């Protein structure tokens, strides 16, 4: 799975879990993401209105520490028409309107970088 682009955070919702928020993001190309985000554990506060560069790739970035504010890995566990669900240590990332190739069981790396 390969996805890269700039997204705008359109909503930040509290979840029923302490320190976990749901980030809802949209791109200009029609893609949208919903990420259960461990804000307190990670220490990078992403807010509504922020711009975020997002990368989801099957290949690990060898320079992840300098390229990304947050870098996680996960596994694709559901693919249906236009919807991909990724489990990141039990947290869920939904990718909506994704039309490229992706397979259940595929390991992916997710990078987030605040756009200043």
- For the chain, the straight-line distance linking the first and the last C-alpha, in angstroms and rounded, comes to 27
* 21-26/32-37 β-pairing: antiparallel
Q: Which DSSP helix (H) or strand (E) runs through 21?
A: strand 21-26
pLDDT of residue 51: 98
pLDDT of residue 3: 97
Tokens coding 80: 């249906």
| Fold (topology level) of 2-115 | OB fold (Dihydrolipoamide Acetyltransferase, E2P) (2.40.50)
> What are the CA-CA distances from residue 1 to residues 11, 53, 57, 65 (Å)?
25, 17, 6, 21
Please state the pTM of the whole predicted model: 0.95
pLDDT digits (tens, 9 = 90+) for 26-77: 999 999 999 999 998 999 999 999 999 999 999 999 999 999 999 999 999 9
pLDDT of residue 116: 80
Domain-by-domain residue ranges, the chain? 2-115
């Amino acid at each position: 799975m390969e996805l890269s682009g700039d997204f705008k955070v359109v909503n930040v919702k509290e979840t029923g879990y302490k320190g976990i928020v749901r980030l809802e993001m949209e791109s200009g190309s029609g893609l949208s993401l919903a990420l259960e985000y461990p804000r307190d554990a990670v220490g990078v506060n992403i807010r509504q209105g922020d711009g975020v560069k997002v990368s989801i790739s099957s290949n690990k970035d060898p320079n992840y520490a300098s390229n990304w504010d947050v870098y996680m890995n996960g596994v694709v566990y559901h693919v249906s028409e236009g919807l991909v669900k990724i489990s990141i240590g039990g947290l869920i990332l939904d990718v909506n309107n994704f039309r490229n190739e992706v397979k259940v069981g595929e390991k992916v790396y997710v990078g987030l970088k605040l756009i200043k």
